[in-house]
Amino acid sequence: MSQSAWTVSLPEVWGIPSLPRVHCETDVVHGRRIARCTAVANSTNPATWFDVADPVKLIQHREAKPWGAELWYTGIEKRGVSGVETTGGEKLSLAAYLAALAGEENCRSKTFAHVPLLKILDPFPEPEKGCLYIEVHTEKWETYIITSVDRSVWPDGRGRVLFGFSQEKIDAFAGNEENFKAALLQDAKAYESVRRALDGGQAVSEELRSQEQAAWQRLRTYFGFLEVEPGSIVRVPPFIPHSLQNGVRVVEFQTPTYERLILAFNQRVLTQNHWDSEDALQRSVFKSTQQLVADASTFSTEATSAWKAVVAFPEFTVQRAQVGAHSALPWGSRSSAHSLLFVVEGDVVLSDSEGRGRKMNATAGDALLLPAGGASWTVKSEKASPAILLSV
């Protein structure tokens, strides 16, 4: 037997006042490391032990947005914290779970294995409400996997993602970056002025609404647009202006960094009292050879026997697989980072490769986390239809 116990203040570790102080314990039983994490305020009712090598199912946190909603699977922020459910049915916050995995020393030094940010972006269908910020990142890497397109607004099933600058518009400025960005900035500031008049709380005239619509459409002509459909994959590296458009639902993997520059938005910005148009434009990639370079490839209709890398960024690689009916595929974690599994379509059963009889069921929309260095598991589609999976 090998036991360890410590108390950790999650607010101090994560900077989130709403989180509790917890008492973490680890033990080794029959060669297996187990852990539990109990809120100090609830110490008379200890949590259930779980095997730290097992995957956990991620519990969503829903965050309302002016453009729709975000569903966080691995979010740990002041606005909300995602949760996990262990193979034994124990539910706890993701922050507490990661503390139990990390151990006392790592909790004190705030050293945790890397977890990519996984979430669903679910915009409204209306174009005046459902377009996300036109924004630029300087550090964050993002990947969009399109899961559905609202045919009430995109009848042909092909939606749009604003991505980079319009090559046609660049050509209209003879490829001159300085003149192009100066004109864009002028139109962005003109639109922002109209936007603030609309958001000022005063009675809005039809003339002002008409001005806003014209100014917004003029501003959009500077940007390029990708056509996407369910299964399309869009890679968004830093310094590329981008905006998911209305009625296009995506699974998003990204580096867990909160930083952005808002270039423009056709609604009131609630998170800050200013736009970052000038700074965003100065940092944006301009050269035409680097525009619209995202992958927009669809999922293969053929079953695969191995994971295939579809996006490789410096901090993570997104892989996909289509598991045929009654077929199976191994899923394992990396040594220094936790692995994520997301079920895009179908139903799967996960079973441990060591034959201990433990299983987990997952269906479309479910996501799971396998701890760093955890044992390999088998993912099987036990029904007559295939399953589409993503892994990081």
- In order of their start, the domains of the chain are 4-118 (no CATH), 124-290 (no CATH), 308-391 (2.60.120.10)
Give yes or no for residue 290 having a pLDDT over 70.
no
Residue range 37-56, pLDDT digits in tens? 999 988 788 899 999 889 99
pTM of the predicted model as reported, rounded to 2 decimal places:
0.88
CA separation for the pair 380, 80 (Å, rounded) = 33
Question: Is the four-CA dihedral 360, 366, 369, 374 of positive or negative sign?
Answer: positive
Residue 294 banded pLDDT, cuts 50, 70, 90: very low
Residue 295 banded pLDDT, cuts 50, 70, 90: very low
Q: Alpha-carbon Rg of the chain, whole angstroms? A: 23
CA separation for the pair 105, 100 (Å, rounded) = 11
User: In 292-376, which ranges are E strands?
Assistant: 308-312, 317-323, 328-331, 339-345, 347-352, 359-363, 367-370
The whole-number pLDDT of residue 74 equals 94
Lowest mean pLDDT among 58-72, 153-167, 291-305: 291-305
Give yes or no for residue 271 having a pLDDT over 60.
yes
Mean pLDDT of the 139-168 span: 93
Give yes or no for residue 10 having a pLDDT over 50.
yes
Mean pLDDT of the 152-161 span: 96
Mean pLDDT of the 127-155 span: 94
Q: Which two structure tokens, joined as six digits, stand for 227?
A: 């056509």
The whole-number pLDDT of residue 151 equals 97
Residue 247 banded pLDDT, cuts 50, 70, 90: very high
Q: Give the distance from CA 107 to its chain's centroid.
A: 25
The whole-number pLDDT of residue 293 equals 39
Give yes or no for residue 335 having a pLDDT over 70.
no
The whole-number pLDDT of residue 191 equals 96
